[in-house]
Amino acid sequence: MEFRIRAATREDCRDIFRMIRELAVYEKMLDKVKISHEVLERDGFSENPFFHCLVAEVPQQYRTMEGYTLVGYALYSYTYSTWKGRSVYMEDLYVMPEFRGQYTCGCSCEIIAKEQQCVRLNFSVLDWNKPSMDFYLAKGAQNLTTTEGWHCLRFEGEALDKLAEQALNKTGHLSHQH
Amino acid sequence: MEFRIRAATREDCRDIFRMIRELAVYEKMLDKVKISHEVLERDGFSENPFFHCLVAEVPQQYRTMEGYTLVGYALYSYTYSTWKGRSVYMEDLYVMPEFRGQYTCGCSCEIIAKEQQCVRLNFSVLDWNKPSMDFYLAKGAQNLTTTEGWHCLRFEGEALDKLAEQALNKTGHLSHQH
Protein backbone atom coordinates (compact mmCIF):
# COMPACT_ATOMS: atom_id res chain seq x y z
CA MET A 1 0.00 0.00 0.00
CA GLU A 2 1.14 3.50 -0.83
CA PHE A 3 1.89 5.71 2.15
CA ARG A 4 3.96 8.72 3.03
CA ILE A 5 6.11 9.51 6.05
CA ARG A 6 6.38 13.24 6.73
CA ALA A 7 7.15 15.68 9.54
CA ALA A 8 4.05 16.40 11.62
CA THR A 9 2.52 19.87 11.53
CA ARG A 10 0.50 21.72 14.14
CA GLU A 11 -2.67 20.66 12.28
CA ASP A 12 -1.84 16.99 12.91
CA CYS A 13 -2.01 17.31 16.71
CA ARG A 14 -5.61 16.11 17.00
CA ASP A 15 -4.69 12.96 15.07
CA ILE A 16 -1.48 12.44 17.02
CA PHE A 17 -3.40 12.83 20.27
CA ARG A 18 -6.00 10.32 19.03
CA MET A 19 -3.22 7.81 18.37
CA ILE A 20 -1.50 8.51 21.71
CA ARG A 21 -4.81 7.53 23.31
CA GLU A 22 -5.16 4.45 21.12
CA LEU A 23 -1.68 3.33 22.21
CA ALA A 24 -2.58 3.94 25.85
CA VAL A 25 -5.77 1.90 25.47
CA TYR A 26 -3.69 -0.95 24.07
CA GLU A 27 -1.42 -0.65 27.12
CA LYS A 28 -4.50 -0.48 29.40
CA MET A 29 -3.29 2.85 30.74
CA LEU A 30 -5.65 5.41 29.23
CA ASP A 31 -6.13 7.10 32.61
CA LYS A 32 -2.42 8.01 32.61
CA VAL A 33 -2.74 10.33 29.60
CA LYS A 34 -2.75 13.79 31.13
CA ILE A 35 -2.05 15.91 28.07
CA SER A 36 -4.31 17.17 25.25
CA HIS A 37 -3.94 18.13 21.61
CA GLU A 38 -3.62 21.77 22.66
CA VAL A 39 -0.64 20.88 24.85
CA LEU A 40 0.95 19.02 21.92
CA GLU A 41 0.47 22.10 19.72
CA ARG A 42 2.13 24.34 22.30
CA ASP A 43 5.01 22.03 23.19
CA GLY A 44 5.86 20.68 19.74
CA PHE A 45 5.13 23.55 17.40
CA SER A 46 6.44 26.70 18.99
CA GLU A 47 9.87 28.30 18.70
CA ASN A 48 11.80 25.89 20.91
CA PRO A 49 9.93 22.61 20.49
CA PHE A 50 10.22 19.96 23.20
CA PHE A 51 9.73 17.16 20.67
CA HIS A 52 9.62 16.31 16.98
CA CYS A 53 7.16 13.99 15.33
CA LEU A 54 6.76 12.04 12.10
CA VAL A 55 3.41 10.84 10.84
CA ALA A 56 2.48 8.10 8.37
CA GLU A 57 -0.26 9.15 5.97
CA VAL A 58 -2.24 7.06 3.50
CA PRO A 59 -4.12 8.41 0.48
CA GLN A 60 -7.86 9.11 0.84
CA GLN A 61 -8.87 5.84 -0.82
CA TYR A 62 -7.20 3.90 1.98
CA ARG A 63 -8.63 5.96 4.86
CA THR A 64 -9.99 4.11 7.87
CA MET A 65 -13.70 3.46 8.40
CA GLU A 66 -13.74 6.52 10.68
CA GLY A 67 -12.18 8.59 7.90
CA TYR A 68 -8.64 8.90 9.24
CA THR A 69 -5.69 9.19 6.84
CA LEU A 70 -3.00 9.55 9.53
CA VAL A 71 -2.33 5.99 10.60
CA GLY A 72 0.93 6.11 12.56
CA TYR A 73 3.34 8.40 14.35
CA ALA A 74 6.84 8.41 15.81
CA LEU A 75 7.58 11.01 18.45
CA TYR A 76 11.23 11.76 19.20
CA SER A 77 13.71 14.23 20.65
CA TYR A 78 17.38 14.89 20.13
CA THR A 79 19.67 13.87 22.95
CA TYR A 80 23.44 13.77 23.21
CA SER A 81 26.14 11.29 24.08
CA THR A 82 29.20 12.95 25.60
CA TRP A 83 31.30 10.13 24.13
CA LYS A 84 29.79 9.79 20.67
CA GLY A 85 27.74 12.91 19.97
CA ARG A 86 24.31 13.44 18.43
CA SER A 87 21.59 10.95 19.29
CA VAL A 88 17.87 10.50 18.81
CA TYR A 89 15.55 9.32 21.56
CA MET A 90 12.36 7.76 20.23
CA GLU A 91 9.60 8.14 22.82
CA ASP A 92 6.71 6.52 20.98
CA LEU A 93 6.24 4.50 17.84
CA TYR A 94 2.68 3.59 16.90
CA VAL A 95 0.99 2.25 13.80
CA MET A 96 -2.76 1.56 13.77
CA PRO A 97 -3.36 -2.22 13.92
CA GLU A 98 -4.87 -2.48 10.43
CA PHE A 99 -1.81 -0.80 8.89
CA ARG A 100 0.91 -2.77 10.66
CA GLY A 101 3.45 -4.67 8.61
CA GLN A 102 3.78 -1.74 6.19
CA TYR A 103 6.83 -0.39 7.98
CA THR A 104 10.24 -1.90 8.54
CA CYS A 105 10.86 -0.27 11.89
CA GLY A 106 11.00 2.97 13.74
CA CYS A 107 8.60 4.79 11.44
CA SER A 108 11.67 6.32 9.82
CA CYS A 109 13.17 7.76 12.99
CA GLU A 110 16.28 5.93 11.83
CA ILE A 111 16.29 7.99 8.62
CA ILE A 112 16.08 11.18 10.67
CA ALA A 113 18.93 9.90 12.82
CA LYS A 114 21.15 9.36 9.78
CA GLU A 115 20.19 12.63 8.07
CA GLN A 116 20.98 14.59 11.21
CA GLN A 117 24.26 12.69 11.57
CA CYS A 118 23.15 11.09 14.79
CA VAL A 119 25.11 8.03 15.80
CA ARG A 120 22.53 6.50 18.10
CA LEU A 121 18.82 5.78 18.13
CA ASN A 122 17.78 5.15 21.73
CA PHE A 123 14.42 4.00 23.07
CA SER A 124 12.89 2.01 25.92
CA VAL A 125 10.92 -1.22 25.84
CA LEU A 126 9.04 -2.98 28.65
CA ASP A 127 10.62 -6.36 29.40
CA TRP A 128 7.20 -8.07 29.40
CA ASN A 129 6.44 -6.73 25.91
CA LYS A 130 8.10 -9.71 24.28
CA PRO A 131 6.82 -9.17 20.71
CA SER A 132 8.33 -5.66 20.64
CA MET A 133 11.52 -6.71 22.40
CA ASP A 134 12.07 -9.63 20.00
CA PHE A 135 11.27 -7.42 17.00
CA TYR A 136 13.89 -4.81 17.88
CA LEU A 137 16.56 -7.30 18.93
CA ALA A 138 16.09 -9.18 15.64
CA LYS A 139 16.69 -5.87 13.83
CA GLY A 140 20.03 -5.51 15.60
CA ALA A 141 19.17 -3.33 18.60
CA GLN A 142 21.28 -3.78 21.74
CA ASN A 143 19.57 -4.22 25.09
CA LEU A 144 21.82 -2.00 27.23
CA THR A 145 20.08 -3.01 30.44
CA THR A 146 21.00 -6.68 30.09
CA THR A 147 24.41 -6.20 28.41
CA GLU A 148 25.80 -3.23 30.35
CA GLY A 149 23.51 -2.86 33.34
CA TRP A 150 21.95 0.51 32.54
CA HIS A 151 18.81 1.24 34.57
CA CYS A 152 16.24 3.97 33.85
CA LEU A 153 15.78 6.37 36.77
CA ARG A 154 13.34 9.21 37.20
CA PHE A 155 12.42 12.02 39.55
CA GLU A 156 8.87 13.27 39.23
CA GLY A 157 6.07 14.78 41.28
CA GLU A 158 6.86 15.44 44.90
CA ALA A 159 10.39 14.00 44.68
CA LEU A 160 11.25 16.44 41.86
CA ASP A 161 9.68 19.38 43.72
CA LYS A 162 11.65 18.58 46.85
CA LEU A 163 14.91 18.20 44.96
CA ALA A 164 14.47 21.53 43.17
CA GLU A 165 13.63 23.24 46.44
CA GLN A 166 16.74 21.84 48.15
CA ALA A 167 18.91 22.83 45.18
CA LEU A 168 17.55 26.37 45.18
CA ASN A 169 18.16 26.70 48.92
CA LYS A 170 21.72 25.48 48.48
CA THR A 171 22.80 27.39 45.39
CA GLY A 172 20.91 30.52 46.32
CA HIS A 173 20.83 31.56 42.70
CA LEU A 174 21.08 30.20 39.20
CA SER A 175 21.96 32.30 36.20
CA HIS A 176 21.13 30.88 32.81
CA GLN A 177 19.56 31.35 29.43
CA HIS A 178 17.85 28.72 27.32
CA MET B 1 32.17 27.32 49.62
CA GLU B 2 30.76 29.93 47.31
CA PHE B 3 29.95 28.71 43.81
CA ARG B 4 27.70 29.55 40.92
CA ILE B 5 25.62 27.37 38.63
CA ARG B 6 25.08 28.93 35.20
CA ALA B 7 24.25 27.97 31.64
CA ALA B 8 27.36 26.95 29.72
CA THR B 9 28.62 29.14 26.88
CA ARG B 10 30.58 28.24 23.76
CA GLU B 11 33.75 29.39 25.57
CA ASP B 12 33.25 26.72 28.23
CA CYS B 13 33.54 23.82 25.79
CA ARG B 14 37.24 23.18 26.44
CA ASP B 15 36.51 22.88 30.15
CA ILE B 16 33.43 20.72 29.59
CA PHE B 17 35.44 18.46 27.31
CA ARG B 18 38.18 18.23 29.96
CA MET B 19 35.59 17.10 32.51
CA ILE B 20 33.95 14.64 30.07
CA ARG B 21 37.40 13.04 29.80
CA GLU B 22 37.90 13.10 33.58
CA LEU B 23 34.59 11.28 34.00
CA ALA B 24 35.58 8.74 31.34
CA VAL B 25 38.91 8.12 33.10
CA TYR B 26 37.01 7.46 36.33
CA GLU B 27 34.85 4.97 34.41
CA LYS B 28 37.99 3.46 32.82
CA MET B 29 36.58 4.19 29.38
CA LEU B 30 38.67 7.08 28.07
CA ASP B 31 39.13 5.34 24.72
CA LYS B 32 35.37 5.56 24.15
CA VAL B 33 35.38 9.36 23.98
CA LYS B 34 35.17 10.12 20.27
CA ILE B 35 34.17 13.78 20.34
CA SER B 36 36.21 16.97 20.85
CA HIS B 37 35.61 20.46 22.22
CA GLU B 38 35.03 21.66 18.63
CA VAL B 39 32.24 19.12 18.22
CA LEU B 40 30.68 20.32 21.49
CA GLU B 41 30.82 23.91 20.24
CA ARG B 42 29.10 22.97 17.00
CA ASP B 43 26.44 20.68 18.48
CA GLY B 44 25.56 22.64 21.59
CA PHE B 45 25.95 26.27 20.60
CA SER B 46 24.46 26.67 17.15
CA GLU B 47 20.90 27.56 16.17
CA ASN B 48 19.27 24.21 16.93
CA PRO B 49 21.38 22.82 19.76
CA PHE B 50 21.44 19.07 20.36
CA PHE B 51 22.04 19.56 24.09
CA HIS B 52 22.05 22.09 26.90
CA CYS B 53 24.61 22.30 29.65
CA LEU B 54 25.04 23.84 33.08
CA VAL B 55 28.41 24.45 34.67
CA ALA B 56 29.47 24.95 38.29
CA GLU B 57 31.98 27.74 38.71
CA VAL B 58 34.02 28.72 41.75
CA PRO B 59 35.65 32.11 42.35
CA GLN B 60 39.33 32.52 41.40
CA GLN B 61 40.50 32.08 44.98
CA TYR B 62 39.14 28.54 45.03
CA ARG B 63 40.51 27.52 41.60
CA THR B 64 42.17 24.11 41.32
CA MET B 65 45.94 23.59 41.39
CA GLU B 66 45.82 23.51 37.59
CA GLY B 67 43.99 26.84 37.56
CA TYR B 68 40.49 25.62 36.69
CA THR B 69 37.45 27.48 37.96
CA LEU B 70 34.84 25.30 36.22
CA VAL B 71 34.51 22.32 38.53
CA GLY B 72 31.35 20.52 37.42
CA TYR B 73 28.83 20.18 34.63
CA ALA B 74 25.41 18.71 33.91
CA LEU B 75 24.58 18.01 30.29
CA TYR B 76 20.91 17.54 29.41
CA SER B 77 18.30 17.57 26.64
CA TYR B 78 14.57 18.08 26.57
CA THR B 79 12.50 15.00 25.87
CA TYR B 80 8.77 14.44 25.95
CA SER B 81 6.32 12.10 27.60
CA THR B 82 3.19 11.56 25.49
CA TRP B 83 1.26 10.98 28.72
CA LYS B 84 2.65 13.72 30.94
CA GLY B 85 4.43 16.24 28.70
CA ARG B 86 7.73 18.09 29.02
CA SER B 87 10.67 16.17 30.44
CA VAL B 88 14.39 16.60 30.94
CA TYR B 89 16.91 13.85 30.20
CA MET B 90 20.16 14.30 32.11
CA GLU B 91 22.97 12.64 30.20
CA ASP B 92 25.92 13.44 32.46
CA LEU B 93 26.41 14.87 35.89
CA TYR B 94 29.99 15.41 37.04
CA VAL B 95 31.65 17.29 39.84
CA MET B 96 35.44 17.23 40.27
CA PRO B 97 36.33 14.99 43.25
CA GLU B 98 37.73 17.80 45.41
CA PHE B 99 34.48 19.77 45.08
CA ARG B 100 31.99 16.99 45.78
CA GLY B 101 29.54 17.35 48.60
CA GLN B 102 28.87 20.98 47.63
CA TYR B 103 25.79 20.05 45.64
CA THR B 104 22.54 18.47 46.70
CA CYS B 105 21.93 16.64 43.44
CA GLY B 106 21.62 16.96 39.73
CA CYS B 107 23.78 20.07 39.46
CA SER B 108 20.52 22.01 39.28
CA CYS B 109 19.03 20.15 36.32
CA GLU B 110 16.04 19.80 38.62
CA ILE B 111 15.73 23.59 38.80
CA ILE B 112 15.77 23.77 34.99
CA ALA B 113 13.13 21.06 34.93
CA LYS B 114 10.84 23.03 37.22
CA GLU B 115 11.46 26.36 35.51
CA GLN B 116 10.64 24.88 32.12
CA GLN B 117 7.54 23.25 33.60
CA CYS B 118 8.92 19.79 33.00
CA VAL B 119 7.25 17.06 34.99
CA ARG B 120 10.04 14.52 34.81
CA LEU B 121 13.79 14.37 35.22
CA ASN B 122 15.04 11.15 33.60
CA PHE B 123 18.52 9.69 33.64
CA SER B 124 20.33 6.33 33.54
CA VAL B 125 22.56 4.71 36.14
CA LEU B 126 24.70 1.56 35.87
CA ASP B 127 23.43 -1.10 38.26
CA TRP B 128 26.97 -1.82 39.52
CA ASN B 129 27.47 1.86 40.40
CA LYS B 130 26.00 1.33 43.83
CA PRO B 131 27.06 4.65 45.41
CA SER B 132 25.28 6.60 42.65
CA MET B 133 22.25 4.31 42.62
CA ASP B 134 21.84 4.56 46.40
CA PHE B 135 22.33 8.32 46.31
CA TYR B 136 19.55 8.90 43.78
CA LEU B 137 17.13 6.39 45.32
CA ALA B 138 17.62 8.03 48.72
CA LYS B 139 16.68 11.36 47.10
CA GLY B 140 13.40 9.87 45.92
CA ALA B 141 14.20 8.73 42.38
CA GLN B 142 12.27 5.74 41.03
CA ASN B 143 14.14 2.90 39.37
CA LEU B 144 11.82 2.24 36.43
CA THR B 145 13.78 -0.81 35.33
CA THR B 146 13.15 -2.69 38.56
CA THR B 147 9.65 -1.32 39.28
CA GLU B 148 8.08 -1.32 35.80
CA GLY B 149 10.46 -3.37 33.66
CA TRP B 150 11.71 -0.64 31.31
CA HIS B 151 14.87 -1.63 29.42
CA CYS B 152 17.18 0.73 27.49
CA LEU B 153 17.56 -0.24 23.84
CA ARG B 154 19.78 1.24 21.16
CA PHE B 155 20.56 1.01 17.49
CA GLU B 156 23.99 2.27 16.50
CA GLY B 157 26.75 1.68 13.97
CA GLU B 158 26.05 -0.94 11.35
CA ALA B 159 22.64 -1.89 12.81
CA LEU B 160 21.47 1.73 12.48
CA ASP B 161 22.88 2.04 8.95
CA LYS B 162 21.11 -1.11 7.87
CA LEU B 163 17.81 -0.05 9.42
CA ALA B 164 17.90 3.35 7.72
CA GLU B 165 18.74 1.74 4.40
CA GLN B 166 15.82 -0.71 4.67
CA ALA B 167 13.45 2.09 5.68
CA LEU B 168 14.51 4.24 2.74
CA ASN B 169 14.03 1.34 0.33
CA LYS B 170 10.60 0.69 1.75
CA THR B 171 9.21 4.21 2.03
CA GLY B 172 10.86 5.41 -1.16
CA HIS B 173 10.70 8.96 0.07
CA LEU B 174 10.41 11.01 3.22
CA SER B 175 9.23 14.59 3.28
CA HIS B 176 10.02 16.62 6.35
CA GLN B 177 11.42 19.74 7.86
CA HIS B 178 13.19 20.11 11.18
Give the model confidence (pLDDT) of A136-158 as tens digits: 999 999 999 999 999 999 999 99
User: ipTM, 2 decimals?
Assistant: 0.89
CB count in 10 Å sphere of residue B134: 11
C-alpha radius of gyration, chain B, whole number: 18
Chain A nearest C-alpha distance from B8 (Å): 8
Give which of B134, B160, B162, B169 to mutate to test A binding, by max A Cβ within 10 Å: B160
CB nearest to A5's CB, from B33, B140, B174: B174
B177 in a domain, yes or no? no
CATH label of the domain that carries residue B113: 3.40.630.30
What is the mean pLDDT of the segment spanning B134-156? 95
B10 in a domain, yes or no? yes
Summary count for chain B: helices (H), strands (E): 6, 8
Query: What residues of A are in contact with residue B175 (Cβ under 8 Å)?
Result: 4-7
Determine, for residues A163 and B110 on separate chains, whether the beta-carbon distance falls below 8 Å: yes
Residue A86 near chain B (CB below 8 Å)? yes
Q: Positive or negative, the Cα torsion across A15, A16, A20, A23?
A: positive
Instruction: Determine the residue of chain A that is closest to B118 in CA distance.
Output: A156
A95 in a domain, yes or no? yes
Domain count, chain B: 1
Q: At a CB cut-off of 8 Å and minimum separation 6, what does A141 contact?
A: B153, B154, B155, B159
CA distances from B41 to A14, B11, B17, B82, B104 (A): 37, 8, 10, 31, 28
Nearest to A106 by CA among A114, B52, B127: A114
Domain hosting B106: range is 4-123
Beta pairing, strands B70-81 & A85-95: unpaired
CA distance B82 to A153: 18
Terminal-residue alpha carbon distance, chain A:
43
CA distance A135 to A6: 24
CB A93 within 8 A of CB A107: yes
**Between residues B151 and A26, which one has the greater pLDDT?**
B151
What is the mean pLDDT of the segment spanning B56-79? 94
Counting one residue from chain A and one from chain B, the pairs whose CB atoms sit within 8 A come to 317
Nearest to A77 by CA among A50, A55, A95, A113: A50
**Between residues A177 and B127, which one has the greater pLDDT?**
B127
B171 in a domain, yes or no? no
The rounded percent of chain A whose pLDDT value lies above 70 is: 91
CB nearest to B111's CB, from A3, A86, A174: A174
pLDDT tens-digit readout, A53-109: 999 999 999 999 999 999 999 999 999 999 999 999 999 999 998 888 755 445 578
B47 in a domain, yes or no? yes
What is the mean pLDDT of the segment spanning B67-77? 95
A176 in a domain, yes or no? no
B133 in a domain, yes or no? no
A102 in a domain, yes or no? yes
pLDDT at A176: 45
CB nearest to B125's CB, from A35, A125, A151: A151
Residue B28 near chain A (CB below 8 Å)? no
pLDDT tens-digit readout, B94-119: 999 888 875 544 557 888 888 889 99
Q: At a CB cut-off of 8 Å and minimum separation 6, what does B172 contact?
A: none
CA angle at B138 for the pair B135 and B143, rounded to the nearest 5°: 85
